[in-house]
Amino acid sequence: MVLKTLKVLLVLHMIKRKKIKLVSFSSREIEEKKAEQPVMVKICKITKESPGVKIFFFESDVKFTPGQFVMVWIPLLDEKPFTISYFQDNILGISVLKRGLFTSVLHSKKVGDTIGIRGPYGRGFNIKTNLNVCVVGGGIGMASLTTLVDKLNSVNNKQGLNITIIHGARTAAEILYQKRFRDMKLCTEDGTAGFKGTAVDLFENLIKRQRFDTVYACGPEKMLYKIFELCQRNKTNCEVSLDRYIKCGFGVCGQCDCSGRRICVDGPVFNMEELSEMKDFGKMTVTKTGERVIC
Amino acid sequence: MVLKTLKVLLVLHMIKRKKIKLVSFSSREIEEKKAEQPVMVKICKITKESPGVKIFFFESDVKFTPGQFVMVWIPLLDEKPFTISYFQDNILGISVLKRGLFTSVLHSKKVGDTIGIRGPYGRGFNIKTNLNVCVVGGGIGMASLTTLVDKLNSVNNKQGLNITIIHGARTAAEILYQKRFRDMKLCTEDGTAGFKGTAVDLFENLIKRQRFDTVYACGPEKMLYKIFELCQRNKTNCEVSLDRYIKCGFGVCGQCDCSGRRICVDGPVFNMEELSEMKDFGKMTVTKTGERVIC
Amino acid sequence: MRVSVSKIDLSVSLCNIKLTNPTILASGILGTTKALLKRVAENGAGAVTIKSVSVEPREGHKNPTVITFEAGMLNAVGYSNPGVEAAAREFKDLQDVSVPVIASVIGTQKKDFVRVVEGFSKTKFSAIEIPLSCPHTPGFGLLAGQGTPKATFEITSAVRRLTKLPVFVKVSPNIPEICTIAKAAEDAGADAITAVNSMGPGMIINIEAQKPILSFKVGGISGDALRPVAVRCVYDLYKAIKIPIIGVGGISTGRHAIEMLMAGASAVEIGTGVYYRGVDVFRKVCGEMTVWMQENGIKNVKSIIGVAHD
Amino acid sequence: MRVSVSKIDLSVSLCNIKLTNPTILASGILGTTKALLKRVAENGAGAVTIKSVSVEPREGHKNPTVITFEAGMLNAVGYSNPGVEAAAREFKDLQDVSVPVIASVIGTQKKDFVRVVEGFSKTKFSAIEIPLSCPHTPGFGLLAGQGTPKATFEITSAVRRLTKLPVFVKVSPNIPEICTIAKAAEDAGADAITAVNSMGPGMIINIEAQKPILSFKVGGISGDALRPVAVRCVYDLYKAIKIPIIGVGGISTGRHAIEMLMAGASAVEIGTGVYYRGVDVFRKVCGEMTVWMQENGIKNVKSIIGVAHD
Ligand SMILES: Cc1cc2nc3c(=O)[nH]c(=O)nc-3n(C[C@H](O)[C@H](O)[C@H](O)COP(=O)(O)OP(=O)(O)OC[C@H]3O[C@@H](n4cnc5c(N)ncnc54)[C@H](O)[C@@H]3O)c2cc1C
Ligand SMILES: Cc1cc2nc3c(=O)[nH]c(=O)nc-3n(C[C@H](O)[C@H](O)[C@H](O)COP(=O)(O)OP(=O)(O)OC[C@H]3O[C@@H](n4cnc5c(N)ncnc54)[C@H](O)[C@@H]3O)c2cc1C
Ligand SMILES: Cc1cc2nc3c(=O)[nH]c(=O)nc-3n(C[C@H](O)[C@H](O)[C@H](O)COP(=O)(O)O)c2cc1C
Ligand SMILES: Cc1cc2nc3c(=O)[nH]c(=O)nc-3n(C[C@H](O)[C@H](O)[C@H](O)COP(=O)(O)O)c2cc1C
Ligand code: FES
Ligand code: FES
């Protein structure tokens, strides 16, 4: 009750401070109305990053933060989320792992074909400067971290930043971005490249010997949960990017819930404090029907 | 045909120059959307200007140009146009001549009552500086000219402006704004005050002897037409404010037509060039049903 | 891919009426006098429609009759018009207007439509539009039960028998059975369907006055709010009927017009767009269509009609 | 004239359910999990509604399922939901949610509604809302003929017999006979009418792709575009029925909520407002209502219900 009164007073205070316009006709503070609709872009280049992963490049003047994603529309088929994994001038790229119908159709697209893009959506990574940073990417999860690494490098250029990149894959052929980040620490489950074992194993080895100021991670949720636990234990700050089935992408449909937080607007990137409050993290996910199931 | 092509090219040129945004979702150049809806204001003062005319004052931060009007709404009754005839700080005033039902109900309003206001609408007078100016107001038409005179006085304060104000009425009791403009040249049809005769008669006398750079007029259309003719003959610039039945007030319903020009947005003030093209001026008006009839 | 401006062809043909471009002034907006029609024509419209005319003069509803909100416009003008006699006088000598002029004819009963059409028999209109779909005028349109297949068939047939001019029947977006209504019109010999009239009706209350703002309390909704509904109606009608469709509702940019054509319209009417962008909305829309067609390699606007269908 | 904040009373009572304020989360927005309901409650809602639940799990339509345009939102989610068994699991222990929780129950036939209500018999919902009005899901709502007086009466009666909880029937703004439908619900024992569901449907075509954007092609319209229609429906219903009305459609500010109450609503639901202003739209709307009431000397929000009527 006291809390409620306090909250009402706070709102009243905000209104007084004109954050909420009241008298005028439109008392919504959001003035600029954006349309959540796909814009068609032409694919201008396609590269093959691994047997299962292609990168699609297109022109767009969309501004985004590393970790944000776009919804990719193939008319009459479906629309699905993909992280922006490449960004230079006005050329953006998405890295697509072929999994089911949608990604297969996307893989069949040629240069000159068009796809729809809406976004960017979500809250990306927090860029910390001047630190010892570790980036851990499991499989295609590495895609979310690429532009983060680029950004960290550009921001911290001459400030003694130290980035350790751990990239895990099942086997050597599935390793991504090897040319882009030449000094990645690799690990494969079958030992065909780098350290034999998972990214978590390698990270655990490293964190025993080395102090990181921030750890950024993206990949399978089980992996993310273990990294989060290791960071908690080592009192190391971390941010992870989560994955849920996405429909609207802008926070209304409730499909992408993780313990009351929406992946699409409150995430996909969450910090430790948030993660520690999210009971479903690492345990429950939500299916396409909206059922909460063990993940 | 050539003309049409030229026009298309002009539009294309404007588009290129970004006056019309094309690629973005909303390609309308009008971004700020205003609601054409009355806002309730409280009457804070009422003065009696003549037996038939009351001035109603209210607070409003509406910005306007002399000659513009507002639509005054009495809920469940009707909504009609009135010129803003008084303006100081955030206090506006309208001068209302009691004629029929609406103005009678308005006259019965008390201080503290509320009325609805939307606007300002229309294109007001062009403020010319540093000139010999004549202002001619017939009856309640004088209301449209009051804030023009105020503005001319304030703009031209020390620049040697010379304003002649002619105000005509049927009889002495109907003369308006006598305290406000002490040096008005008055005329009454019955000779009970000032010159005996119409404002046109007096104006004709004056213009024979004196050169005006600009003449501003508002009043019955027959009067306006005669003043316009006199100005044409004397090669004197003039601007007059016309009157038609107003419904929407913002240019869509077509009710207020005068030869293809809408009083409510293209006017109510027109210049000589425009007036000379308006065949209906002084001849035809439009009734409430939309019928064009001799005026 | 790019097409030069001079090659872009915006002309369409609507029931054998040639239009230099597909934009038409919608009924009820500015179409009160010949002078206003002329002005709209000079501002780029491919054709113009007069404000609807009934047998007798009508004052319409009291003011406020037209208001706007952030998503569109509400109107309850109430079919004010000078009656057919005065209107026939006003619209004689239509040759002064450089583009085709469409008459809009209303009535409370079948015989009224007939009388108005007869009253216009000496006037050089290019087509007759009959709106059976006004949502806010007692005695007319939906409030007189004219939005049923039966009434639509009867009124359309009566007008059809009377005139050789193309007859357009204007339908309401409020009726779920819009395709059935349109088919009834088609069966009765209509030459085109105008889709759609204003939507709703809707109401806006001034909360300080605690009263609805429109004097008729409710009014038809037009403008942006209506566009997706209008596009859906045109899309559905395109599949259901064979006669051409004139798309109306919320069009104020070239992109909107193209969307409506793709849904299946052969031409578009613009009403509230005049408020959003001025009397020259027609020229602006055509300019924007031209640029878009250039950039997308489309020479002939006729080629995009209905392309959104599978 | 001015009232101090502490004296402002926003509480309302809806079919004997006490709400600390009249704002309710509308069905289909965020109501998928208990955690989200909790979050909405913490953000100031007076009550919350779950996303509609059917007997069997449903994946709903393919994406895009929700898009927006300048005047509102279009959605064709297609009633994706985990089915009543999983939903009953999800919504057990509702005491964690600090405000009343309303169940939304859908079905393709009468017996489905019954099965879902039975499936929820152990769940501590405060009321049951049955939307008979979805415009874009085959097998449900309007597309299953549930928007007729007869179907409304039958389904409502069946649900009524089964439960002691208040039953809200959610109606469509698309049906001209909205009052007849609502009366049928009232006659069948409904405790309140929720007015309205989304409007249309509407369609938006991407002109570069030349295709409708929504995978179901059409979707229900909500948000600003819907508000005047929703206000008119509530105004008409207030005159036609005796049971309370929950007003829904385009509410995102305190002024909008007040307008809806003045039209005759006893409480309001907010859906698309979450998009316009965030999850804390409920707190913002209540704050704005409070300030307005202060300035206009109104202490008790209940006193403004229906005041726009003569
Ligand atoms: C924020 C975010 C960013 C992503 N970024 C990338 C990326 O950069 N590159 C990449 O290859 N993949 C990315 N994904 C996953 C990508 O969306 C799925 O791989 C893709 O949707 C699979 O579709 P499909 O039809 O080919 O496979 P399906 O057979 O339909 O599904 C395979 C799996 O993909 C996931 N998936 C399917 N549909 C969705 C959906 N609508 N939303 C979320 N997950 C879905 C599910 O886990 C499903 O089990 C991202 C997902 C999220 C949530
Ligand atoms: C741009 C403009 C500015 C005006 N400014 C003023 C002003 O400052 N002071 C003032 O007293 N009057 C002004 N008028 C005239 C004023 O609107 C009418 O006097 C008023 O509407 C009369 O209403 P009523 O019901 O009292 O009279 P009615 O008996 O209804 O009408 C009396 C006469 O008023 C005129 N009138 C009525 N309704 C309208 C309408 N909707 N639009 C235009 N004219 C109408 C007609 O000429 C009519 O014959 C202005 C009119 C216009 C067009
Ligand atoms: C102020 C106003 C008056 C209207 N009057 C008429 C009318 O007299 N006859 C008619 O058929 N339609 C009338 N309409 C409907 C329009 O012709 C059109 O069908 C509708 O407004 C939708 O198009 P828009 O969104 O481009 O305005 C009117 C609309 C407005 C806004
Ligand atoms: C994305 C979305 C999903 C919806 N899903 C449902 C639903 O499952 N059940 C239902 O009764 N209404 C559903 N609706 C309708 C809303 O509950 C509400 O009636 C409508 O959106 C109008 O209110 P608003 O303008 O505040 O959104 C949905 C609306 C939206 C926008
Ligand atoms: S995907 Fe709809 S809320 Fe996140
Ligand atoms: S009053 Fe409507 S156009 Fe002027």
CB A241 within 8 A of CB A141: yes
Q: Which residue has the higher pLDDT, B22 or D268?
A: D268
Q: What residues make up the domain containing A149?
A: 132-294
| Partner-chain residue, chosen from A25, A26, A35, that has the shortest CB–CB distance to B25 | A35
Q: According to the model, what pLDDT value does residue A54 have?
A: 97
Instruction: Please compute the mean of the pLDDT values over residues A97-118 and round it to a whole number.
Output: 97
Measured in angstroms, the CA of C35 and the nearest CA of chain D are apart by 33
In a domain, A189, yes or no: yes
In this structure, what token pair is assigned to residue C164? 């050789």
Q: For D256-288, how does the pLDDT look when each residue is reduced to its tens digit (9 = 90+)?
A: 999 999 999 999 999 999 999 999 999 999 999
Q: What residues make up the domain containing D223?
A: 5-309
- Give the span between the Cα atoms of C297 and B189, in whole angstroms: 71
In a domain, B136, yes or no: yes
Distance between Cα D210 and ligand 3 center (Å) = 27
Ligand found nearest the CA of A253: 5
Residue A154 confidence class, pLDDT cut points 50, 70, 90: confident
The tokens 């008055």 sit on which residue?
Answer: B186
Measured in angstroms, the CA of D295 and the nearest CA of chain B are apart by 13
Q: According to the model, what pLDDT value does residue A10 have?
A: 45
> What backbone torsions phi and psi does residue D103 show, to the nearest 5 degrees?
-85, 145
Say if the Cβ atoms of C286 and B11 lie within 8 Å: yes
Amino acid identity for residue C215 in this structure = S
A: neighbours with 3+ CB pairs under 8 Å?
B, C, D
Cis amide prior to D100 (ω within 30 degrees)? no
3-state DSSP call for residue D156?
A: helix
Say if the Cβ atoms of C310 and A26 lie within 8 Å: no
How many domains, chain D? Answer: 1
Same domain (yes/no): B172, B285: yes
Same domain (yes/no): A147, A107: no
Q: What is the DSSP string of D43-108?
A: TT-SEEEPPPB-SS-B--SPSP-EEEETTEEEE-----B-HHHHHHHHTS-GGGSSS-EEEEB--S
In this structure, what token pair is assigned to residue B155? 């703009």
In a domain, B19, yes or no: no
Q: For D226-241, how does the pLDDT look when each residue is reduced to its tens digit (9 = 90+)?
A: 999 999 999 999 999 9
Structure pTM?
Answer: 0.94
C310 contact residues in A (CB cutoff 8 A): 76
3-state DSSP call for residue C222?
A: strand
CA-to-CA dists, residue A246 to A78, A102, A285, C37, D79, angstroms: 12, 14, 12, 51, 15
- Alpha-helix residue ranges (DSSP H) falling in chain C: 34-42, 83-90, 110-119, 149-162, 178-187, 227-240, 254-263, 273-277, 281-295
Same domain (yes/no): B137, B265: yes
Ligand 3 atom having least distance to the Cα of C252: 26
Residue B20: pLDDT over 70: no
- Give the span between the Cα atoms of D60 and D137, in whole angstroms: 8
Q: For B238-265, how does the pLDDT look when each residue is reduced to its tens digit (9 = 90+)?
A: 999 999 999 999 999 999 999 999 999 9
- Give the span between the Cα atoms of A266 and A251, in whole angstroms: 8
Q: According to the model, what pLDDT value does residue A26 have?
A: 38
Contact with chain D for residue C239, Cβ under 8 A:
no
Q: Other C-beta atoms within 10 Å of A233: how many?
A: 10
Cβ pairs bridging C and D (under 8 Å) = 125
Residue A49: pLDDT over 90: yes
Residue B30: pLDDT over 50: no
Residue A6 confidence class, pLDDT cut points 50, 70, 90: very low
Say if the Cβ atoms of C70 and A76 lie within 8 Å: no
Final residue of a structural domain among B90, B121, B152:
B121
Instruction: Please compute the mean of the pLDDT values over residues C249-268 and round it to a whole number.
Output: 97
Residue B69: pLDDT over 80: yes
D: neighbours with 3+ CB pairs under 8 Å?
A, B, C
- Give the span between the Cα atoms of B64 and A252, in whole angstroms: 42
- Give the span between the Cα atoms of A156 and A132, in whole angstroms: 11
The closest of D208, A175, D250, D134 to C203, measured between CA atoms, is D250
Q: According to the model, what pLDDT value does residue B160 have?
A: 73
Same domain (yes/no): A70, A145: no
Measured in angstroms, the CA of D23 and the nearest CA of chain A are apart by 14
CATH of the domain at B192: 3.40.50.80
Say if the Cβ atoms of C36 and B254 lie within 8 Å: yes
Q: For D217-226, how does the pLDDT look when each residue is reduced to its tens digit (9 = 90+)?
A: 999 999 999 9
Residue B62 confidence class, pLDDT cut points 50, 70, 90: confident
Burial class (CB in 10 A: 0-12, 13-18, 19+), A267: buried
The closest of B113, B110, B94, B96 to B51, measured between CA atoms, is B96
Distance between Cα A39 and ligand 1 center (Å) = 20
Same domain (yes/no): B91, B172: no
In a domain, B14, yes or no: no
CATH of the domain at A74: 2.40.30.10
Distance between Cα D4 and ligand 4 center (Å) = 35
Residue C39: pLDDT over 60: yes
Final residue of a structural domain among A92, A121, A150:
A121
In a domain, A2, yes or no: no
- Which of B248, B258, B286, B287 is the best mutation target for the ligand 6 pocket, counting ligand atoms within 8 Å of the beta carbon and taking the most? B248
Final residue of a structural domain among B62, B96, B121:
B121
Q: According to the model, what pLDDT value does residue C55 have?
A: 95
Measured in angstroms, the CA of B197 and the nearest CA of chain C are apart by 36
Contact with chain D for residue C218, Cβ under 8 A:
yes
Same domain (yes/no): A113, A137: no
Residue B17 CB partners (closer than 8 Å, separation 6+): none
CATH of the domain at D232: 3.20.20.70
Same domain (yes/no): A102, A170: no
- Give the span between the Cα atoms of A249 and A34, in whole angstroms: 14
C residues 251-270 lying closer than 8 A (beta carbon) to D: 255, 258-259, 262-263
Same domain (yes/no): B110, B159: no
In this structure, what token pair is assigned to residue A24? 């005028």
ipTM value, please give it.
Answer: 0.93
In a domain, B220, yes or no: yes
Average pLDDT of chain D is: 95
In this structure, what token pair is assigned to residue B197? 């005769």
Q: SS3 letters for chain A? A: CHHHHHHHHHHHHHHHCCCCCCCCCCCCCCCCCCCCCCEEEEEEEEEECCCCEEEEEEECCCCCCCCCEEEEEECCCEEEEEEEEEEECCEEEEEEECCCHHHHHHHCCCCCCEEEEEEEECECCCCCCCCEEEEEEEHHHHHHHHHHHHHHHHHCCCCCCEEEEEEEECCHHHCCCCCCCCCCEEEECCCCCCEECCHHHHHHHHHHHCCCCEEEEECCHHHHHHHHHHHHHCCCEEEEECCCCCCCCCCCCCCCEECCEECCCCCEEEEHHHHHHCCCCCCEEECCCCCEEEC
Residue A8: pLDDT over 80: no
Residue D1: pLDDT over 70: no
- Minimum mean pLDDT range among A54-58, A93-97, B159-163, C174-178: B159-163
Q: Are strands A162-169 and A132-138 parallel, antiparallel or unpaired?
A: parallel
Which residues of C sit within 8 Å Cβ distance of A? 70, 310
Amino acid identity for residue B26 in this structure = S
Same domain (yes/no): A214, A260: yes
Residue A31: pLDDT over 90: no
Cα A177 vs. chain centroid, distance in angstroms? 17
Q: According to the model, what pLDDT value does residue C134 have?
A: 82
Same domain (yes/no): B42, B159: no
The tokens 């590495």 sit on which residue?
Answer: A142
Same domain (yes/no): B281, B178: yes
Which range of A18-27, B16-25, B253-262 scores highest in mean pLDDT? It is B253-262
Which residues of B sit within 8 Å Cβ distance of A? 25-26, 33-35, 37
Helix (H) or strand (E) holding B56: strand B53-59
3-state DSSP call for residue B137?
A: strand
Q: According to the model, what pLDDT value does residue D293 have?
A: 96
Average pLDDT of chain B is: 87
Burial class (CB in 10 A: 0-12, 13-18, 19+), A38: buried
Instruction: Identify whether D179 is a catalytic site residue.
Output: no
Residue A14 confidence class, pLDDT cut points 50, 70, 90: very low
Q: For D171-209, how does the pLDDT look when each residue is reduced to its tens digit (9 = 90+)?
A: 999 988 899 999 999 999 999 999 999 999 999 999 999
Q: For C1-37, how does the pLDDT look when each residue is reduced to its tens digit (9 = 90+)?
A: 677 888 899 999 999 999 999 999 999 999 999 999 9
A34 contact residues in B (CB cutoff 8 A): 25
Strand partners, A241: A218, A269
- Minimum mean pLDDT range among A291-295, C283-287, D127-131: A291-295
Residue B172 confidence class, pLDDT cut points 50, 70, 90: very high
How many domains, chain A? Answer: 2
Same domain (yes/no): A286, A140: yes
Residue B161: pLDDT over 50: yes
Residue A159 confidence class, pLDDT cut points 50, 70, 90: low
Residue B159: pLDDT over 70: no
- Give the span between the Cα atoms of D155 and D106, in whole angstroms: 10
Average pLDDT of chain C is: 95
The closest of A68, A57, A55, A56 to A91, measured between CA atoms, is A57
C residues 93-132 lying closer than 8 A (beta carbon) to D: none
